[in-house]
Amino acid sequence: MIIKMVYTFVFITAFAALSVSGAYAFTVDVIPAEVKPGDVVLLQIEGDSGTAAKAEFLGRTVQFYPAAENRLFALLPVDIKTKPDKYPVSVLRDDRKETRSVFVRSHKFKTVKLTLPEGKVTLSPENQKRATNEAVMLKKVWSEKTGKSWDGAFIPPTETEISEVYGVNRIMNEKKNSVHRGMDFRGKTGTPVRAINSGTVVLTDDLFYGGHTVVVDHGMGLYSIYMHLSEFKALQDAAVEKNQVIGLIGSSGRVTGPHLHMSVKLDGVSINPEALFELELASSKREIAD
Q: How confident is the model at residue 21 (pLDDT cuts 50, 70, 90)?
A: very low
Please report whether residue 286 resides in a domain. no
Q: How far is CA 33 from the centre of its chain?
A: 18
Q: Are 131 and 98 found together in one domain?
A: no
Q: What is the mean pLDDT of residues 204-220?
A: 97
Q: Are 136 and 273 found together in one domain?
A: yes
| 9-36 b/e (C-beta count within 10 Å ≥ 16 → b) | eeeeeeeebeeeeeeeebebbbbbbbbb
What CATH number is given to the structural domain containing 46? 2.60.40.1930
Q: Are 30 and 148 found together in one domain?
A: no
Q: Are 134 and 272 found together in one domain?
A: yes
DSSP 123: P
Q: Are 141 and 272 found together in one domain?
A: yes
Q: Return the amino acid letter for 199.
A: G
> Comparing 94 with 164, which gets the higher pLDDT?
164
Q: To 10 degrees, the CA torsion angle through 158, 163, 165, 170? A: -140
Please report whether residue 141 resides in a domain. yes
Q: Are 225 and 156 found together in one domain?
A: yes
Please report whether residue 256 resides in a domain. yes
Return the pLDDT at 4. Answer: 38
Q: Is the pLDDT of residue 13 over 70?
A: no
Please report whether residue 117 resides in a domain. no
User: Is residue 138 within 8 Å of residue 130, measured between CB atoms?
Assistant: no
Q: Is the pLDDT of residue 19 over 60?
A: no
Domain that holds residue 81: 13-107
Q: Is the pLDDT of residue 216 over 80?
A: yes
Please report whether residue 213 resides in a domain. yes
Please report whether residue 161 resides in a domain. yes
Return the pLDDT at 285. Answer: 62
Please state, in angstroms and rounded to a whole number, the distance separating the CA atoms of residues 9 and 104: 13
Q: Are 92 and 43 found together in one domain?
A: yes
Q: Are 39 and 153 found together in one domain?
A: no
Please state, in angstroms and rounded to a whole number, the distance separating the CA atoms of residues 225 and 32: 24
Identify the helix (H) or strand (E) that includes residue 27. Answer: strand 22-31
Please report whether residue 113 resides in a domain. no
- 255, exposed or middle or buried, with CB in 10 Å at 0-12, 13-18, 19+? middle
Q: What is the mean pLDDT of residues 82-103?
A: 90
Nearest to residue 160, comparing CAs of 272, 4, 2?
2
Q: Are 140 and 98 found together in one domain?
A: no
Q: Are 30 and 97 found together in one domain?
A: yes
Q: Is the pLDDT of residue 233 over 90?
A: yes
Q: Are 80 and 207 found together in one domain?
A: no
Q: How confident is the model at residue 50 (pLDDT cuts 50, 70, 90)?
A: low
Q: How confident is the model at residue 53 (pLDDT cuts 50, 70, 90)?
A: confident
User: Which residues, in sequence order, are CB contacts of 230 under 8 Å at separation 6+?
Assistant: 189, 190, 212, 247, 248, 249, 250, 251, 252, 258
Return the pLDDT at 26. Answer: 64
> Comparing 14 with 146, which gets the higher pLDDT?
146
Nearest to residue 262, comparing CAs of 145, 202, 181?
181
What CATH number is given to the structural domain containing 242? 2.70.70.10
- Residue 151: CB atoms within 10 A of its CB come to 18
Task: Please tell me the least confidently modeled range out of 42-46, 128-132, 229-233, 240-244.
Answer: 42-46
Q: How confident is the model at residue 49 (pLDDT cuts 50, 70, 90)?
A: low
Q: How many domains does the chain have?
A: 2
Q: Are 150 and 249 found together in one domain?
A: yes
Please report whether residue 202 resides in a domain. yes
> Comparing 28 with 191, which gets the higher pLDDT?
191
